[in-house]
Amino acid sequence: MGGNGKFRRWRISFYRSSSAAAAEQKDPPQEFICPISNALMFDPTVVSSGQTFERVCIQVCRDLGFTPTLSDGSTPDFSTVITNLALKTSILNWCSKTGSDRPKPPVYSDIESTVRSLMAASSVNEESAKIRVSERELLKKVSETPPFLYTRAATDLNPRNLYCSSSSEESVIANTTPLLPFATRPSCFSYTSSPSTSSEFISGEVLLSSNNDSSNCSGEDESFIDKMTSLDVYEQEQSVILLRKTTRTNEDARTALCSERLLLALRPLLKSRYAGVQTNATAAVVNLSLENGNKVKIVRAGVVPLLIEILKNGFEESREHAAGAIFSLSLEDGNKTAIGVLGALPPLLHELRSGTRRSRHDSALALYHLTMVQSNRVKMMRLGAVSALLALLKDAQVAARVVLVVCNLATCDEGRAALMDANAVECLVGSLRNGTELNSESTRENCVAALYSLSHGSLRFKGLARDAGAVAVLQEVAETGSERAREKAKRVLMVLREAEEAEEDEVDWEEVMKVGVTRARHRVTKSRGRNSTEF
pLDDT tens per residue across span 241-268 = 999 999 988 888 898 899 889 999 999 9
pLDDT at 308 over 60: yes
Q: Most confidently modeled of 116-120, 122-126, 381-385?
A: 381-385
pLDDT at 73 over 50: yes
**Rounded to an integer, what distance in angstroms lies between the CA atom of residue 445 and that of residue 492?**
12
Span 321-334, average pLDDT: 93
Burial tier of 472 (Cβ tally within 10 Å: 0-12, 13-18, 19+) = exposed
Average confidence score pLDDT of the chain: 75
Span 413-427, average pLDDT: 87
Lowest pLDDT segment from 213-222, 305-314, 327-336, 427-436: 213-222
Q: What is the dihedral of CA 463, 465, 469, 471, to 10 degrees?
A: -110
Span 317-338, average pLDDT: 93
**Rounded to an integer, what distance in angstroms lies between the CA atom of residue 435 and that of residue 485?**
14
Beta-sheet strands, E only, within 3-78: 44-47, 52-54
Work out the pLDDT band at 448, boundaries 50, 70, 90.
confident
- Interacting residues of 319 by C-beta distance below 8 A, sequence separation 6+: 310, 311, 351, 355, 356, 359
**Rounded to an integer, what distance in angstroms lies between the CA atom of residue 3 and that of residue 325?**
87
**Rounded to an integer, what distance in angstroms lies between the CA atom of residue 435 and that of residue 85?**
76
Work out the pLDDT band at 443, boundaries 50, 70, 90.
confident
**Rounded to an integer, what distance in angstroms lies between the CA atom of residue 44 and that of residue 34?**
8
Confidence at residue 446, expressed as pLDDT on a 0 to 100 scale: 86
Work out the pLDDT band at 397, boundaries 50, 70, 90.
confident
pLDDT at 533 over 70: no
Span 436-446, average pLDDT: 70
Work out the pLDDT band at 219, boundaries 50, 70, 90.
low
The 10s digit of each residue's pLDDT in 464-519 is 888 888 888 888 888 887 788 888 888 888 888 775 655 554 555 555 555 555 55
Q: Do 325 and 289 meet the contact criterion of CB atoms below 8 Å apart?
A: yes
Lowest pLDDT segment from 52-61, 269-278, 442-451, 494-503: 494-503
Confidence at residue 296, expressed as pLDDT on a 0 to 100 scale: 93
Among residues 21, 23, 43, 24, the alpha carbon closest in space to that of 34 is found at 43
Span 339-367, average pLDDT: 92
Span 368-386, average pLDDT: 91
Percent pLDDT > 70 in the chain is 68
Q: What is the 3-state secondary structure (H, E, C) of 214-282?
A: HHHHHHHHHHHHHHHCCCCHHHHHHHHHHHHHHHHHCHHHHHHHCCHHHHHHHHHHHCCCCHHHHHHHH
Answer yes or no: pTM beyond 0.85.
no
Work out the pLDDT band at 413, boundaries 50, 70, 90.
confident
Lowest pLDDT segment from 4-13, 71-80, 187-196: 4-13
What counts of helices (H) and strands (E) characterise the chain? Answer: 29, 3
The 10s digit of each residue's pLDDT in 133-191 is 444 444 444 444 443 333 333 323 333 333 333 333 333 333 333 333 345 667 666 54
